[in-house]
């Protein structure tokens, strides 16, 4: 069982991140509350997620179905919004379409079609982001900046998906300046696509090591694990 120290430390940590986000919104002249915090709960126990829920956090990200499955089942009674942020495999799309509200990591037409076809009729359309690979050949997930508009157009047409935005997981950069240059490229693409696809409102970028740079470059959703 979790003891009281755990409760305090998770609530304190969440509050510290929230305060830091608010400070960066101010520093970079972003409207207050324009950045939402997605708590990445991978490798966290059900008890710890529950402590975060009790501290007011309701958006959680998981990156493997096998790991997420027992947690989602155990936490069914809570109004949690689950986001799938990990690598998508064709044989897991059904479960993900059934159990998650969002998928940030769509990077092929085939996966997008499967998610749309498998989204249960009684649920609202699945919110999806297109994952863009900003590092070229260095990472496998995500489409290139050049390919993104083509896949975006296809995703926007799928009836059971709601195309919400773009996501990236860049290679860790050393300094804020360097990190900003990378995020800036996704931000430019996002603003260009937004004129074409009015449903876009989400720029999912920034993790614990680089969320200052992401907020500076217009992130609307940061994904924080630590």
Ligand X SMILES: *Cc1c(COP(=O)(O)O)cnc(C)c1O
**Segment 51-110, which members bind ligand X (CB under 6 A)?**
63, 85-86
Which residue in 42, 73, 50, 40 sits closest to 1, CA to CA? 50
Q: Which is nearer to ligand X, 59 or 169 (CB)?
A: 169
Q: Which stretch binds ligand X (CB under 6 A): 51-59, 117-125, 193-201, 204-212?
A: 204-212
Long-range contacts, 81-88 (Cβ 8 Å, 24+): 83/38, 83/59, 85/38, 85/40, 85/61, 85/167, 85/204, 85/223, 86/42, 86/62, 87/63, 87/141
207 binds ligand X (CB under 6 A): yes
CB 132 within 8 A of CB 167: yes
Assess 169 for contact with ligand X (CB under 6 A). yes
Neighbours of 122 (CB within 10 A): 5
- Closer to ligand X at the Cβ: 83 or 114? 83
Residue 208's nearest CA partner among 223, 193, 189, 188 is 223
Q: Which of 42, 95, 154, 184 binds ligand X (CB under 6 A)?
A: 42
Q: At which residue do the structure tokens 């693409």 appear?
A: 189
- Cα gap 140→105, rounded to integer Å: 12
Q: Would you say 87 or 149 has its CB closer to ligand X? A: 87
Q: Is 18 in the site for ligand X (CB under 6 A)?
A: no
* 225 makes contact with ligand X (CB under 6 A): yes
* Interaction of residue 173 with ligand X, rule CB under 6 A: no
Q: Which is nearer to ligand X, 125 or 225 (CB)?
A: 225
Residues found near ligand X in the complex (CB under 6 A): 40, 42, 63, 85-86, 169, 207-209, 223-226
């Amino acid at each position: 069982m979790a003891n009281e120290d755990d409760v305090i430390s998770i609530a304190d940590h969440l509050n510290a991140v929230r305060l830091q986000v608010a400070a960066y919104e101010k520093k970079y002249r972003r409207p207050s509350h324009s950045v939402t915090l997605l708590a990445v709960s991978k490798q966290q126990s059900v008890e710890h997620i529950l402590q975060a829920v009790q501290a007011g956090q309701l958006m959680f990200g998981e990156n493997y179905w096998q790991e997420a499955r027992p947690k989602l089942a155990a936490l069914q009674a809570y109004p949690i919004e689950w986001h799938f942020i990990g690598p998508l495999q064709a044989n897991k799309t059904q479960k993900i379409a059934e159990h998650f509200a969002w998928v940030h990591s769509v990077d092929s037409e085939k996966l997008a079609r499967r998610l749309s076809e498998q989204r249960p009729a009684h649920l609202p359309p699945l919110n999806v982001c297109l994952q863009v690979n900003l590092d070229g050949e260095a990472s496998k997930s995500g489409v290139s900046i050049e390919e993104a508009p083509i896949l975006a157009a296809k995703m926007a047409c799928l009836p059971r998906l709601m195309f919400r935005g773009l996501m990236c997981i860049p290679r860790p950069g050393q300094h804020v300046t360097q990190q900003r240059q990378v995020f800036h490229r996704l931000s430019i693409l996002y603003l260009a696509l937004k004129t074409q696809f009015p449903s876009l409102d989400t720029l999912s970028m920034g993790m614990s090591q680089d969320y200052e740079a992401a907020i500076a470059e217009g992130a609307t959703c940061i994904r924080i694990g630590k």
